[in-house]
Amino acid sequence: MSNQPPEIMDADDIRRALTRIAHEIIERNRGAEDLALVGVLTRGLPLARRLSELIQSIEGIQVPVGALDITPYRDDRRDRGAQAADATDLPFGIDGKRIVLVDEVIYTGRTVRAAMDALMGRGRPAAVQLAVLIDRGHRELPVRPDYVGKNVPTSHRERVTVRLRDPDGEERVIIEKRQEAAK
């Protein structure tokens, strides 16, 4: 019996899911005009870049990509008041744009809430949509993604780990058991 965590997506599965999501984004938005992708750091950014490349290959329009650092907006950090370096990079104005927030996993919805706060502090988009590679359920906030690569029912004792070529050097999604705290 193997001690390897179960792999729920390999590189081909991830590629297919992103291709489908790119088509769904184009269809829902009736093209790619006034569209921008914003990746939630860290792994949302490479996913957003890949979606932009896919949309360009389909529509012939280069969709701008930005990076959003939600660290200062998280509600689970005790040092929220401290000035942390903000790695956000939005090389375009968001006013009037249709923004697709991109993240690798949605769980409780708290990361998305922080991302919305961070985004709205920088302008007023025409619309905000959410694309995730994995939806694992267990929402604590009323947030639902518009585009999902794969729904993966999990328990609270499990962790979904997404590994991407950039920055991890490998491409797969696995489910791991959370380590129990020492008693």
Query: What token pair was written down for 61?
Result: 């329009």
Record: fold of 7-73+91-177? Rossmann fold (3.40.50)
Ordered by start, the domain boundaries in the chain are 7-73+91-177
Query: Which residues is 128 bridged to in the sheet?
Result: 99
Give residue 83's pLDDT: 53
User: Residue 6 in contact with residue 175, Cβ under 8 Å?
Assistant: yes
Tell me: cis bond preceding 42? Omega within 30 of 0 counts. yes
Share of the chain above pLDDT 70, in %: 92
Element (H, E) at 15: helix 11-28
Q: What's the angle, vertex CA 89, arms to CA 27 and CA 87, rounded to 5?
A: 125
User: Residue 28 in contact with residue 35, Cβ under 8 Å?
Assistant: no
pLDDT band with cut points at 50, 70 and 90 for residue 40: very high
Share of the chain above pLDDT 90, in %: 85
**pLDDT, greater one: 77 or 5:** 5
Query: What token pair was written down for 20?
Result: 């489908």
pLDDT band with cut points at 50, 70 and 90 for residue 3: confident
**pLDDT, greater one: 40 or 180:** 40
